[in-house]
Structure 1
Amino acid sequence: MNSENPTTAKHALLARSNRLGAEPHITNYAGGNTSAKGVETDPVTGEPVELLWVKGSGGDLGTLTEQGLAVLRLDRMRALVDVYPGVEREDEMVAAFDFCLHGKGGAAPSIDTAMHGLVDAPHVDHLHPDAGIAIATAADGERLTAEIFGGKVVWVPWRRPGFQLGLDIAAVKEQNPDAIGCILGGHGITAWGETSEESERNSRWIIDTAQAHIDAHGDAKPFGGERAGFGPLAAEERRAKAAALAPTIRGLASHDRPMLGHFSDDERVLHFLGSEKAPALAALGTSCPDHFLRTKVKPMLLDLPADAGVEESIHRLKELHEQYRADYTAYYDAHATAESPAIRGADPLIVLVPGVGMFSFGATKQTARVAGEFYLNAINVMRGAEALSTYAPISDAEKFRIEYWALEEAKLQRMPAPKSHATRVALVTGAASGIGKAIATRLAAEGACVVIADLDLEKAQAAAGELGSTDVAIGVQANVTDAAAIDRAIEDAVLAFGGIDIVVNNAGLSLSKPLLETTEADWDLQHDVMAKGSFLVAKAAARVLIEQGMGGDVIYISSKNSVFAGPNNIAYSATKADQAHQVRLLAVELGEHGVKVNGINPDGVVRGSGIFASGWGANRAATYGVDEQDLGAFYAQRTILKREVLPEHVANAVAVLTGPDLSHTTGLHIPVDAGVAAAFLR
């Protein structure tokens, strides 16, 4: 029985896990698992009890905390060996793990729990390193394992993760007392040690030794020579083509259900796509279960050279998508049984474009990004396997057994219901402050990815940072009077998240002057920013919305002044009336593409407003003969409800208009003015 202090064992386990999980070549996000064994006092009997702490289901090694550990009694877990019904019923053992849990809280045990509990070692690491999987997926992986490691590392033939694999690895360790770990065919590695330090050292030794052997003895050109015409485009040309193709590709990947996207032009991806072997290797798909569960069994590869035109590429991508769906459906039909879950969708999650890069997709931006990271790992695996041997992933039949495993389906069913705006990408102009910032904040809270566009890039990026990581929001610079600047902001949006679903024309300013004091420059400035700016943004975004074929929303933040004739406000009110009619015109024009266009007419929003802070508030206060600090209260008192309008109230209206409850509403203007009778819509 291991007598290591339980607190020390847990802390060492967490520290080791975080170190191993922080290095992508060692294991992928949420991939692999680690464990430690130790002794605690049973609170019921007062007797010592040996426990297993192991990373639970769904956790990530790099960010693992104590709450992410499953804690089991080893005596009860090991007693399961005596009631194990055999490999045909091994899935039943996962439910049995729940009866081995110790104490309250903690994570649910994963399918790999048996591997950790049954192996007779105080510390165990199961990892998915690129170099290790390269050996595991080589056609002669067993021979390479003996050649590279001698008797220190033992080959274990492919077996689906589960109780039997735990028994297999336990037997390997018992039969090979000098071994420090094993290569799991088609899968990854497992290592162990008497201490946490030794286990980590052994894991790293296996990985480093495998990589050193590949470097020293591998083919210098494992992917063959370059395919003429398929090499990387220049950086700016690559970006422009990626942005032009992104809406089409996202629409294809979202045929069955909406997806968010991620783009990568990592040089390793570009090198692979430019190689002779890329088509054949891509068709073989990935091998490690963690890889293909997130990337599907294989990617979709555009079979045109890098300099193919955008229109030609789009046409071919659509043809390939039809073929991909047919192939995936045939794969499902070939392996599904009466007990198999229904097909989950036949669209690709990885789309590869030679000379340009990789588009990856998922239900969230994080899962889309991680899918791309997994495929990059798969490329590294193929490189290593081809350098020493021939890449030979597990069969499609075995992939199907995992992809449509009842245990995987149960894991999916346990996921929380998505928020109202999940999978949607919102571009909000003038969003670094005031109404725009409140809209961006609300949409992000509802699950949307948000692009905060503002004239001030630094403020836009700061506002985005307040909402979370770049998986949630990004800040971009956008002068809405400049068509080229808008195009650049749209490119930033589609390359960050795959496309656009919601456009909020919020950017604005105002100069409060009577007619005789309003200059031509005053008129032009306000019309350029709001009337022309909204037109330019809507036009640029509409190209993306139409090409995606996923519908969408365009929202104009107009004003009650678009219908209410107030004093000393000719330029501002006229441009707001222009915006209001753009809503009606675009609702008619874009409706055939499933795009809804609606407007919001707020009353004066004083608190938190950039417009009011920039002098408009002082001018309006002077017009009405009140102190500027009392302007919000003055506006409130002239309304029917006697309530001040805040940025959050406008954001609420945007959330409702773009949410699922008003799916059949377009061409509408919603007053958010606490009731101004003169501005009632007629």
Structure 2
Amino acid sequence: MNELIARSNRLGSDPANTNFAGGNTSAKGTETDPVTGEPVDLLWVKGSGGDLGTLTADGLAVLRLDRLRALVDVYPGPDREDEMVAAFDYCLHGRGGAAPSIDTAMHGLVTAAHVDHLHPDAGIALATAADGEKLTEQCFGDRVVWVPWRRPGFQLGLDIAAVERDHPAAIGCILGGHGITAWGATSDEAEAHSLEIIRTAAAFLEEHGRPDPFGPEIPGYQADPDRLAKAAELAPVLRGLVSTDRVQLGHFTDAAPVLDFLARAEHPRLAALGTSCPDHFLRTKVRPLVLDLPPSAPFDQVVARLKELHEAYREDYRAYYERHATSDSPAMRGADPAIVLLPGIGMFSFGADAQTARVAGEFYLNAINVMRGAEAVSTYAPIEEREKFRIEYWALEEAKLARRPKPKPLQGRVALVTGAGSGIGKAIARRLAAEGACVVVADVNAESAHAVADELGQVAVAMDVTDEASIDAAFAAGALAFGGIDLVVNNAGLSVSKPLAETTAEDWDRQHDVMARGSFLVSKAAAHQMVAQGLGGDIVYISSKNSVFAGPNNIAYSAAKADQAHQVRLLAAELGEHGIRVNGVNPDGVVRGSGIFAGGWGAQRAAVYGVPEEELGAFYAQRSLLKREVLPEHVANAVFVLTAGELSHTTGLHVPVDGGVTGAFLR
């Protein structure tokens, strides 16, 4: 088993071998049956939904070979293929393990001890070439055998087992329209055979392929030097369009193969043919949406055309579904595109979560490579549309979707948190990420922002809330990473504690620039993007109990916080028509874990109240009704409650998180 996992990880970590979560590997061996004490022959095979590159023992299904192979005698034929996957459950050995995938028969019926099934671009290029069978023989001789397209399942396993039996010199096969399968007596031999097929196919395409498989360049469709800025501006518009049926997250790439494909004359024809490998089109849908304007087209014209193309795409997808659906087909899952191609700019891919969106783009990049290879030596000829539908709306695929874990409350939402490199902002970023949100960790200290983002597996941006260009760049980064922003937390702040006579104009301006003016600028940028998306949104201000509580020696800070508090009310009134809710959180002094208090504010406030600085948190707690100290996590809890969906009809509210300071009660 250890050899199998190591081989799987090596093969799966190289995108030249297979795509994310695509393909499967297996090994056969003998263990002692814990019930009978007798030897039992077993098959270890990657289970349904796992990824080879990150495969662990928990991702393997373990089956008894005798029972699995006995299914040959009861196999009812291709028309009842789906029944065989349920039968695999009766072949399982032991407890736990992953659910067996549809490809289990391929691994169990082949007699070789080790089997790899992969989706390499070079292999699929031959598999999708119009004369793929001839090219396979020309490329490999009798060492690799062509297997005509067949939907994955038990019959395909029988077909491949027959190839192994009838072609003793063969090390594997090219599966028409699909991928490759290789085998070996040892783990090393199977891996070597897989790599031999992949590298031989790639060398064949390089040697025999024509240099311009996608045709000549289209004038004006070359890569635009301002493509990132244009992509960021279009991102929220696109995200709003493709979220017509359900909210999607986006991912952008301007990879050179994408830009070259879209600059060539054949890209409209090839894109319309769609992808071929089942793993590809399950994630990219049957075909992409392709903008038919050059990158120089005015923004308003592009937006108008995208809206037209989106509506046409939805109508076309509905027609595709209706052409092929039967009485027992699952309901249509949504008619929005998963891939949007913008000539001269790049590609947006969409999905229910960030990984799904990113992987969809990776799969379409695989598809471009496949089309390039097939067109270089032949004509790209993917499997027919009906077969694509049979797989996309397969009952087994529906069952796989049903096994996915229940989405977290904030899945599908993108949050930008200012001042998130420490203290309250860091706690908020952690909580939102833990609840499923994608988070843009924004802080004026780039090093702190990256440290938090790295911890959470999120995106970091260096952002100065007093600088409009810096704010625009941060929102652009969020748009390119996730498709847009729909939850913003205005948390960035600082404080200087001085009596009125000692407060300088510079003290006043600095605090108002960061908190009052900074929140205004961030909210303005947020509203611009949220309105463009048309998906509503949340803006949350981390204000303070000082916004309503008059304390000593605190004029500049408290006045800035009062400004923030009133911004909440003003923006709630203005943005409600767009479905954008604006609320605030009013914490009392958060001492532990606070960047502001650690930066000198704690010592200043402790001096005001005549207590040691290390006792300031306890002092604040004792003046509250609950006698509890406020921590960053308590503020994060309030932000989560305000944005998680249960308070869908609440806007313009300030939530006190102060332990009960009567002087700060809202009136």
Q: Which TM-score bucket, shorter chain as reference?
A: over 0.9
CA distance in 2, matches of 1:67, 1:650: 38
Matched, 1:403 2:392: yes
1:422 alignment counterpart: 411
Q: 2:337 is matched with which residue: 336, 344, 348? A: 348
2:380 alignment counterpart: 391
1:106 alignment counterpart: 97
2:47 alignment counterpart: 56
1:327 alignment counterpart: 316
The Cα offsets for residues 321-378 of structure 1, whole Å up to 9 and x where unpaired, read as 0000000000001100110000000001111111111101111111111111100000
2:182 alignment counterpart: 191
CA shift at 1:90, angstroms?
A: 1.4
Amino acid at match of 2:67: R
Q: Secondary structure at the match of 2:646?
A: helix
2:451 alignment counterpart: 462
2:598 alignment counterpart: 613
CA distance in 1, matches of 2:548, 2:58: 56
CA shift at 1:48, angstroms?
A: 1.5
Structure 2: any 5+ residue segments left out of the alignment? none
2:146 alignment counterpart: 155
CA shift at 1:27, angstroms?
A: 0.3
CA distance in 1, matches of 2:6, 2:612: 60
1:262 alignment counterpart: 251
CA shift at 1:411, angstroms?
A: 0.8
Matched, 1:74 2:69: no
CA shift at 1:566, angstroms?
A: 0.9
Matched, 1:209 2:200: yes
Matched, 1:304 2:289: no
Q: Secondary structure at the match of 1:660?
A: coil
Q: 1:568 is matched with which residue: 540, 553, 564? A: 553
CA shift at 1:86, angstroms?
A: 1.0
- Normalising to structure 2: TM-score of the pair? 0.99
The answer as to whether partners of 1:25 and 1:377 remain within 8 angstroms in 2 is no
CA distance in 1, matches of 2:603, 2:29: 70
1:540 alignment counterpart: 525
CA shift at 1:514, angstroms?
A: 1.0
CA shift at 1:625, angstroms?
A: 1.0
1:247 alignment counterpart: 236
CA shift at 1:466, angstroms?
A: 1.3
The answer as to whether partners of 1:645 and 1:674 remain within 8 angstroms in 2 is yes
CA shift at 1:40, angstroms?
A: 1.1
Matched, 1:31 2:16: no
1:488 alignment counterpart: 473
Across the aligned residues of Structure 1 and Structure 2, the Cα RMSD in angstroms comes to: 0.8
CA distance in 1, matches of 2:560, 2:406: 42
The Cα offsets for residues 637-669 of structure 1, whole Å up to 9 and x where unpaired, read as 111111111111110000000011100000011
Matched, 1:643 2:628: yes
Q: Secondary structure at the match of 1:151?
A: coil
User: Identity of aligned pairs, percent?
Assistant: 74
1:654 alignment counterpart: 639
Matched, 1:498 2:483: yes
1:363 alignment counterpart: 352
- Normalising to structure 1: TM-score of the pair? 0.97
CA distance in 2, matches of 1:128, 1:32: 6
CA distance in 2, matches of 1:98, 1:572: 65
CA shift at 1:391, angstroms?
A: 0.3
2:224 alignment counterpart: 233
Q: Secondary structure at the match of 1:436?
A: helix
CA shift at 1:171, angstroms?
A: 1.0
The Cα offsets for residues 434-467 of structure 1, whole Å up to 9 and x where unpaired, read as 1101100110111001111001001100011111
Amino acid at match of 1:623: V
CA distance in 2, matches of 1:272, 1:55: 34
1:3 alignment counterpart: none
CA shift at 1:315, angstroms?
A: 1.2
CA distance in 2, matches of 1:210, 1:474: 38
The answer as to whether partners of 1:300 and 1:324 remain within 8 angstroms in 2 is yes
Amino acid at match of 2:82: D
CA shift at 1:99, angstroms?
A: 0.8
CA distance in 1, matches of 2:588, 2:393: 54
1:558 alignment counterpart: 543
Amino acid at match of 1:349: A
The Cα offsets for residues 271-325 of structure 1, whole Å up to 9 and x where unpaired, read as 0011111111011100000000011011111110121122211111111100000
Matched, 1:603 2:588: yes
Amino acid at match of 1:242: A
Amino acid at match of 1:452: V
1:133 alignment counterpart: 124
CA shift at 1:614, angstroms?
A: 1.1
CA shift at 1:147, angstroms?
A: 1.2
CA shift at 1:253, angstroms?
A: 1.4
Matched, 1:278 2:259: no
CA distance in 2, matches of 1:44, 1:578: 73
Q: Secondary structure at the match of 2:514?
A: helix
CA distance in 2, matches of 1:600, 1:45: 64
CA distance in 1, matches of 2:7, 2:606: 63
Q: 1:317 is matched with which residue: 306, 320, 332? A: 306
1:222 alignment counterpart: 213
1:43 alignment counterpart: 34
The answer as to whether partners of 1:453 and 1:476 remain within 8 angstroms in 2 is yes
- Pairing 1:156-171 to 2, within 5 Å after superposition: 156-171=147-162
CA distance in 1, matches of 2:197, 2:626: 71
CA distance in 2, matches of 1:532, 1:43: 71
The Cα offsets for residues 528-556 of structure 1, whole Å up to 9 and x where unpaired, read as 00000000000011111000011100000
CA distance in 2, matches of 1:577, 1:384: 63
CA shift at 1:497, angstroms?
A: 1.0
Q: Secondary structure at the match of 1:40?
A: strand
1:668 alignment counterpart: 653
CA shift at 1:254, angstroms?
A: 1.0
Detail structure 1 runs of 4+ shifted over 6 Å in the superposition: none
CA shift at 1:120, angstroms?
A: 1.6
Structure 1: any 5+ residue segments left out of the alignment? 1-9
CA distance in 2, matches of 1:122, 1:258: 45
CA distance in 2, matches of 1:165, 1:388: 27
Q: Secondary structure at the match of 2:416?
A: strand
CA shift at 1:383, angstroms?
A: 0.2
1:380 alignment counterpart: 369
CA shift at 1:94, angstroms?
A: 0.5
Matched, 1:413 2:402: yes
Amino acid at match of 2:335: A
